[in-house]
Amino acid sequence: MAKKTVEHEGHPDHRALAGGSARAGVFGFSDGLVSNVSLVIGFAAGGVDSSVVRLAGIAAAVAGAASMAAGEWVSISAQNELVKREMALELRELKIHPEAETSELAAMYRQHGMSREQAAISAREVMRDPERAVIVHAREEFGLDAGNLPNPIQVAIISLMAFFCGAMLPVLPWIFGGGNSARYASIMVAVVAAAVAGGAIGQQAERSKATSAVRQVAIMLLAVGVTYVIGRLVGVTIN
């Protein structure tokens, strides 16, 4: 009776996380929120006019989003190039030393609990198709998923949009108002957004949503506190 090689393709949710899109969205939003509420409160603490706070917040949101997108594009592109290079090297090894690579793959299957006989059969079956073999080898040996490389442009766009949305939330009160009311509204909006983002992260990671939310808010408030103190000191010195 013929035995079949069983290959686990992974859950779609895992692929989404590994692809970088979810990471770019979560970190982009969080970075934009924390950095810009800190900047806005720091400027406001310095005693500058509300129009200056508003302009600084919008400029920081645009510049930060562009910088985040560019960084993600460069990072993902470099990562993909590295994976492709490793795949090319692995394919060369498969062609030069097919028997050694077959034995190596069989040993990996035995580590996953296969019997010696089943591992040998599965390895030989995989090695019949060079393209399939190099993908399996890369995944088993290096943890690389060459069939699911993230799209640099897609990740960059997601990062840009997420950062901009997160960064603009604490600026909104300054667009529609100013003074202490805008300052308090910025902090309140940022606290709620940070809590929601933290809860979402906790849910995705199957951790306590409350703990993740509290941690996210605490980190944000710490950053806000630091920039507030600096803003007050610099503002007093200039005045």
Q: Using one digit for the tens of pLDDT, what is the confidence trace for 124-140?
A: 887 777 777 777 777 77
Segment 154-172 shows an average pLDDT of 95
Q: Does 8 score more than 50 pLDDT?
A: no
pLDDT top residue among 130 and 63? 63
Query: Highest mean pLDDT: which of 69-78, 93-102, 122-131?
Result: 69-78
Q: What predicted TM-score, i.e. pTM, was given to this entire model?
A: 0.76
104 compared with 165, residue with greater pLDDT: 165
Please report, for residues 27, 91, 99, 122, 219, the alpha-carbon distance to residue 193 in angstroms, rounded to integers and kept in the order given. Answer: 13, 47, 56, 50, 13
Among 15, 146, 129, which residue's Cα sits nearest to residue 89? 146
Of 83 and 44, the structure prediction assigns the larger pLDDT to 44
- Residue 5 pLDDT exceeds 80: no
pLDDT class of 95 with cuts at 50, 70, 90: confident
The 10 Å Cβ neighbour count of residue 122 is 23
Please give the share of the chain, as a percent, with pLDDT higher than 70. 86
How confident is residue 216, by pLDDT bands cut at 50, 70 and 90?
Answer: very high
CA distances in angstroms from 194 to 40, 59, 161, 173, 188, listed in the order given: 16, 21, 17, 16, 10
User: 142 falls in which pLDDT band (50, 70, 90)?
Assistant: low
Residue 121 has pLDDT above 90, yes or no: no
- Give the chain's mean pLDDT: 83
Label residue 12 exposed, middle or buried (CB < 10 Å: 0-12, 13-18, 19+): exposed
Over range 168-190, report the average pLDDT.
94
pLDDT at 155 over 80: yes
In the block, which residue shows the tokens 């943890």?
143
pLDDT of 10 reads 41
In whole angstroms, how far apart are CA 205 and each of 67, 197, 199, 202, 230?
A: 27, 12, 10, 5, 35
**More confident call, 214 vs 27:** 214
Give the range with max mean pLDDT: 15-29, 102-116, 173-187.
Answer: 173-187
Mean pLDDT across the stretch 82-88? 81
